Structure 1
Amino acid sequence: MNLIIPMAGKGKRLRPHTLTTPKPLIPIAGKPIVQRLVEDIADVTPEKIEKIGFVIGDFEEEVKDKLREVAAAVGAEAYFFVQETAEGTAHAIACANEILEGKVTVAFSDTLFRADFKLNPEDDGIIWTKQIEDPSAFGVVKTNNEGVITDFIEKPKDFVSDQAIIGIYYFKNGEELRDEINYLIEHDIRGGGEFQLTMALEALKNKGTNFTIGTVNEWLDCGNKEITVESNSRYLGFLKGQNLISNKAKIENCEIIEPVSIEEGSEISNATIGPNVSIGKNCTIRNVKLSETLIQNNTTLEDVELTNSMIGNFVNLKGSPKSVSLGDYSEW
């Protein structure tokens, strides 16, 4: 099976953090978002992932190296496809036409989830959904009594269904998806000014593809600072009970309130850490109290109490703020 991950977006709502780090590489519970996504998809997929196509923007080679590591960790080979202009979900997938063949899963990179089902690779297609209270900002699906999808509706103004499409899709025949998307692009068929994946799905359904739904238990977003901090906290909760503190971290005179993740090389003293705190590599943290906070690498914190905060790489923070969002190389 092949996996395609569109991730060329600029992540504007998560600035300043995405000014220096692509959003899919922002860590959640100690691992980049895209790594969490790939690992979770591999966990619900009984077939081996052979190729992972990352649809990227103008990313540096260092980022590509990290993505190669993400692919290799699940035994797959990384492929890179550049999306030069943002023209919709179908357009992003079309950038990876080269590997749109055979069994294919498409997963948009800002989607994290928890699910207790296993994908059936013999199904024609599976659209992963989550039941939500207000689906008006999302694409939704309607199903018949057999659980087969009968309609795809993009951002309905009036209520038609509470099953929101979360951004993960499985196709038994990638070539058929490729043909439908290419038809949209070649004939400039758009919805809302963009090439919409739901239009290709509707065409496949009308030609006999039976799409069913795979309902997830949890759907986590990483759109802005508040939501990302919340998603980090919830994901740490999923992992509670696992050892998330590196034995190569140095911790002295601290109270640790689980769940907490601390990576190697970090030195922490005279602190209360947790709950729901992630600390990256090679950080120095003294005389602090932290909760509901995500800290990246090589950062120094002293004499501060923080909650609901997101701190980037190479930050120096000492003083009084209670809730902050500081990008890389910030000083406070």
Structure 2
Amino acid sequence: MKALIPAAGFGSRLRPLTFSRPKPVLPVAGQPIIAYALQHLRSVGIEDIAIVTSDATEAPLRAALADWPDVTYLRQAYMGGLGHAVAGAEEWADGDDLCVMLADNLFEHSPAGLLQAFRDGGAHAALALIEVEDPRAFGVAELDGEGASGRVRSIVEKPEQPETNLAVAGLYCFTPRIFEALRQVPVSARGELELTDAISWLIRDGAVVRGYRQPGWWKDTGRPADLLEANAWMLARQGSVQRGTVEHSLVQGNVVIEAGAQVCRSVIVGPAYIGPDAVIEDARLGPGVSVGRGAQVIGAIVRHSILEAGACVSGLSGTLSDSILGQGAQLSRQPATSYHQCLMPDASTLSIAGD
């Protein structure tokens, strides 16, 4: 089996963060989002992995994944939808089964259970399904049986009155028959080739399509709040590692302090991640804070936030919370209020005189 990770889009709902970089390279708990997909796929023994890119996203993806040299990059000619991204990989797949995992989806557990349901059930396709409170924003599957897996009877995209609460998550397995299905379905009203339409075609054509109730949590990191929630989840899973320097400071809970980082006269409350060469002075961090390589927090209180590489927060009079600062963003000298919330793109500066 091979694996495909579609990652050609920039992610408009995460602007301004994605004006300069695509969504899959944004960091969660110190790693690019897409790195978690790669780790999950490798954990189940899939070594042949391709990432679908575009003209605009390939360079930043290659740069962010420099530690993953054995990945293949496939160029999507235009933004033609998820089905179009999969269809373009037919020659590369070369007759093998295919696991498709979306670059911006985070799963607590690996695809092992889905792969077993796919292989043991003699399926032509298998879909990871997640129980959600409000399924109207998702593709919704009707499943035979109440067990961990069953045959999918139908998929309805964003139904007004869902028959079930089983949302189709961004994780699939296919035999090469998916490429036949993609050739049979027309583009949708929004001008895209929809993978959901191809799966529905398989069901109508009598193919075996299995649904698997994926355990644990799942997050589509489409919006800033989703990114922050995912960051907190992933931080909570890490252990405690201290490779950097800690002086006259208190560190509580699960905290990773990478090599070259300096923590001085500060309080760190986990879960938190402090990247290589970061500087934390006279500050209070956490919980739920991720600080990127070379970032600085000086004379500030920061909680439930992501500070990317080279970002700097200094001299705040209140608490910075629920915020994301892009690479090299600079935030300082806020007014004397108790709470601040910011979404700052790369290389931006916000400096306001205090009261």
Q: Is the pair's TM-score, using the shorter chain for normalization, greater than 0.5? A: yes
Structure label with greater radius of gyration: 2
- The alignment partner of 1:170 has SS state of strand
Contact 2:130-2:168 within 8 A present in 1 as well: yes
Q: Single out whichever of 34-43 and 250-259 deviates more from structure 2.
A: 34-43
The residue aligned with 1:99 is: 92
Contact 2:8-2:53 within 8 A present in 1 as well: yes
| Cα root mean square deviation, aligned | 2.1
Structure 1, unpaired ranges of 5+? none
2:43 corresponds to 1:32: no
- The alignment partner of 1:151 has SS state of strand
- The alignment partner of 2:67 has SS state of helix
The residue aligned with 2:247 is: none
Q: Single out whichever of 280-289 and 188-197 deviates more from structure 2.
A: 188-197
Letter of the 1:297 partner, please give it. Answer: A
Letter of the 2:99 partner, please give it. Answer: T
Superposed counterparts of 1:16-27, under 5 Å: 16-27=16-27
Contact 1:56-1:80 within 8 A present in 2 as well: no
Q: Residue 10 and residue 281 in structure 1: after superposition, are their counterparts in 2 closer, same or farther (change >3 A)?
A: same
Distance 2:155 2:228 in 1: 31
Q: Residue 158 and residue 180 in structure 1: after superposition, are their counterparts in 2 closer, same or farther (change >3 A)?
A: same
Contact 1:4-1:55 within 8 A present in 2 as well: no
Choose which of 106, 109, 118 in structure 2 pairs with 1:112. 106
Highest RCO, 1 vs 2 (Cα 8 Å, sep ≥ 6)? 1
Q: Residue 204 and residue 60 in structure 1: after superposition, are their counterparts in 2 closer, same or farther (change >3 A)?
A: closer
Choose which of 71, 78, 82 in structure 2 pairs with 1:85. 78
The Cα of 1:268 is off from its aligned counterpart by 1.0
Distance 2:55 2:170 in 1: 19
Q: Residue 57 and residue 214 in structure 1: after superposition, are their counterparts in 2 closer, same or farther (change >3 A)?
A: farther
The residue aligned with 2:238 is: 239
The residue aligned with 2:325 is: 311
Letter of the 2:130 partner, please give it. Answer: K
Q: Single out whichever of 17-26 and 233-242 deviates more from structure 2.
A: 233-242
Contact 1:144-1:150 within 8 A present in 2 as well: yes
Contact 2:50-2:74 within 8 A present in 1 as well: no
The residue aligned with 2:171 is: 168
The Cα of 1:102 is off from its aligned counterpart by 1.2
- The alignment partner of 1:198 has SS state of helix
Q: Single out whichever of 221-230 and 16-25 deviates more from structure 2.
A: 221-230
Superposed counterparts of 1:173-322, under 5 Å: 173=175, 175-184=176-185, 188-190=186-188, 193-205=191-203, 206-239=205-238, 244-304=256-316, 305-320=319-334, 322=340
The Cα of 1:240 is off from its aligned counterpart by 5.1
Q: Residue 267 and residue 68 in structure 1: after superposition, are their counterparts in 2 closer, same or farther (change >3 A)?
A: closer
Distance 1:176 1:302 in 2: 56
The residue aligned with 2:244 is: none
Letter of the 1:102 partner, please give it. Answer: D
Q: Residue 18 and residue 66 in structure 1: after superposition, are their counterparts in 2 closer, same or farther (change >3 A)?
A: same
Q: Single out whichever of 298-307 and 193-202 deviates more from structure 2.
A: 193-202
Identity %: 25
Q: Residue 210 and residue 222 in structure 1: after superposition, are their counterparts in 2 closer, same or farther (change >3 A)?
A: closer
Superimposed CA distance per residue, residues 141-196 of structure 1 (whole angstroms, 9 cap, x where no aligned partner):
1111272211111111212110000111012x2x2112211233xxx353654322
Superimposed CA distance per residue, residues 124-150 of structure 1 (whole angstroms, 9 cap, x where no aligned partner):
232111101111111011111272211
- The alignment partner of 1:195 has SS state of coil
Contact 2:3-2:46 within 8 A present in 1 as well: no
Structure 2, unpaired ranges of 5+? 241-253, 351-355
Letter of the 2:332 partner, please give it. Answer: K
Letter of the 2:182 partner, please give it. Answer: I
The residue aligned with 2:135 is: 135
How many residues are paired up? 320
Contact 2:25-2:60 within 8 A present in 1 as well: no
The residue aligned with 2:246 is: none
The two structures have a TM-score, normalised by structure 2, of 0.83
- The alignment partner of 2:230 has SS state of helix
